[in-house]
């Protein structure tokens, strides 16, 4: 295993610890995007943000839950995906809407997206100390990854 794999595996181990602290049945794996795998109670994460990840997602989250500005986009993204798992029973079938072109704002207002971030925001507000602990751990892990890539 090369150095990059070792780093990614250690980040994955951290993410797994975090999601298991929320629910011991949850797990996480490295993917090509942030995603919720409902059948497996699993979320995927990535170090590269998609078009709707990153800045636009973060701005929407912070607008709704101002405390989120203290947190890294990675932490917010993980919480949003857990929000999907947590709100699975309230989801609607929005496949046809999803397939139409839309702005980021319209995307974030899709029912399933809206309630996932809502769950994440309330969890954040109710678990600030825990959230800060994990946010720091993730930042530290990614700083190591950054060092590796620029070496």
CB of 116 to Zn ion, least distance (A): 5
Pick the closer one to Zn ion by CB: 103 or 150.
Answer: 103
Q: Determine the interface stretch with Zn ion among 44-52, 56-64, 105-113, 127-135 (rule: CB under 5 A).
A: 105-113
Nearer CB in complex with Zn ion: 87/135: 87
Nearest approach, Cβ of residue 114 and Zn ion (Å)? 9
Which run of H or of E encompasses 82? helix 73-86
Buried b / exposed e over 103-126, threshold 16 CB at 10 Å, is eeeebbeeebbbbbbbbbbebbee
Yes or no: say if 30 and 8 are a contact pair by the CB < 8 Å rule: yes
* H-helix or E-strand spanning residue 35: strand 35-37
Task: Using the minimum distance from each CB to Zn ion, give the nearer residue, 85 or 141.
Answer: 85
Per the CB < 8 A criterion, the answer to whether 27 and 14 are in contact is no
C-beta separation of 61 from 76 below 8 A: yes
Select 62 or 145, whichever has its Cβ closest to Zn ion: 62
Binding residue count for Zn ion, defined by CB under 5 A: 2
Within residues 109-138, the interface with Zn ion by CB under 5 A covers 113, 116
104 phi and psi, to 5 degrees?
-55, -40
CB closer to Zn ion out of 70 and 94? 94
Stretch that binds Zn ion, among 15-23, 85-93, 107-115, 142-150 (CB under 5 A): 107-115
Query: Coil, strand, or helix at residue 42?
Result: strand
The site string for Zn ion over 38-77 (x = CB under 5 A, - otherwise) reads ----------------------------------------
Q: Which residues bind Zn ion (CB under 5 A)?
A: 113, 116
């Amino acid at each position: 295993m090369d150095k990059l794999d070792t780093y990614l595996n250690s980040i994955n181990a951290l993410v797994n610890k975090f999601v298991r602290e929320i629910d011991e049945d949850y797990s996480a794996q490295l993917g090509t995007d942030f995603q919720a795998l409902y059948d497996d109670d699993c979320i995927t994460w990535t170090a590269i943000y998609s078009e709707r990840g990153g800045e636009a997602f973060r701005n929407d989250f912070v607008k709704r839950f101002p405390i989120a500005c203290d947190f890294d986009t990675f932490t917010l993204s993980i919480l949003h995906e857990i929000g999907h798992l947590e709100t699975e029973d309230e989801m609607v079938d929005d496949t046809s809407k999803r397939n139409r072109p839309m702005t980021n704002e319209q995307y974030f207002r899709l029912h399933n997206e809206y309630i996932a971030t809502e769950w994440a925001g309330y969890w954040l507000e109710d678990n600030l100390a825990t959230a800060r602990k994990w946010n720091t751990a993730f930042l530290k892990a990614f700083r190591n990854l950054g060092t590796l890539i620029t070496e």
